[in-house]
Amino acid sequence: MYTRQRQRPRARAGVNRRQGTLACLMLLPAVTGLSVFVLWPLARSIYLSFYQWNFYTDNVFVGWKNFADVLGDPKFAASVIRGLLFTAMVVPLQLLIAFAFASVARSVGPRMAGALKMTIYIPTVVSTVIASLIFVVIYQFSGGVANWLVGLAGAEPQAWLGDAAWALRAMTVPTIWIGLGLTSLIMLAGMLDVPESYYDSARLDGAGWIRQQIYITLPLMKNVFLYLLITGFTVTIQQFEIPLVMTSGGPADSTLLPNLLIFRHFRYDDNVGFSVAAAILLFAVIGSISALVFRLLRSEKATDA
């Protein structure tokens, strides 16, 4: 009896050891990929940001000079502020439209819901470059669909991409359109995860659709909204292809977003360290704002009754 009792802890320890080894082996591909494609490039970038260098000369250590040059560049600060403004225009509208679509898809039959999901997801598989070119044609001053619709309303045609007052606003439409499919499907998945019994109880108490959304759907989808808010902010402020293809940052730098500015310095400057330092500072801005949003909203684990 005493021998068996001593053998059981040893057997459990052996099982735990084998499970731990198996878990490490399963995590190894993910950890390797993260180390090779994220951690090592990030560490290397931080190291190179302290050097004045390019691909043709030897590196020269300059300390914090690259960061000081970036912070002293008014175009970098303006691009970050412009990126935040662009994000403030895109993300709330995208979430609102996605929530409306998910509400409609949830209320219709399975066949109609399938057709709606397929339709809304189509822009996601379209190349960003191709989508940008499509909207360049739509925004053409002469013969563009946008000005044709404006003309039907009796208004004057606009130089959507040639006017500094309109160019950034015009870019919000393709940005929302491209990201709407994935956002809507995630929103729908979160909405379907809310137990139907909650809505049944609310209807029995006389709550209408609006009150059901305010007191049931929105609180229980807090984590979904938080995820979409953070990812939407991160993707939008780093938008590169749309301003590059549609406006090249113009007119008068009115659509020059941070990544496009960094690309310009990387391509045309002799000191690549400036671009690396700018990228790291942008990373710090995005991380700080994301952490602030997490802190303010305080994500909670989903609970079911």
Q: What is the pLDDT of residues 212-245, one digit of tens each?
A: 888 888 888 988 999 999 999 999 999 999 999 9
Instruction: Mark 36-48 as b/e (b = at least 16 C-beta within 10 Å).
Output: eeeeeeeeebeeb
Q: What is the pTM of this model?
A: 0.86
User: pLDDT tens across 77-124, in order?
Assistant: 999 999 999 999 999 999 999 999 998 888 887 888 888 888 888 888
Q: What is the DSSP letter of 38?
A: I
Mean pLDDT of 187-197: 88
Separation of alpha carbons 159 and 170, rounded Å: 10
**Which is nearest to 255 in space by CA: 11, 26, 104, 78?**
78
pLDDT interval class at 305 (50, 70, 90): very low
Residue 186 has pLDDT above 90, yes or no: yes
Which pair of tokens denotes residue 168? 């950034």
| pLDDT at site 3 | 52
Mean pLDDT of 4-27: 69
φ/ψ of 43, rounded to 5, equals -65, -40
| pLDDT at site 10 | 60
SS3 content of the chain, % helix, strand, coil (to 5): 75, 0, 25
**Other residues' Cβ atoms within 10 Å of the Cβ of residue 236:** 23
φ/ψ of 293, rounded to 5, equals -65, -45
Across all residues in the chain, what is the average pLDDT?
87
Residue 303 has pLDDT above 70, yes or no: no
C-alpha 113 chain-centroid distance:
25
Q: Percent of the chain, pLDDT > 90?
A: 45
For every residue of 241-253, DSSP letters joined together read HHHHHHTTT-STT
| pLDDT at site 15 | 59
Say which residue, 13 or 131, is predicted with more confidence.
Answer: 131
Separation of alpha carbons 49 and 60, rounded Å: 11
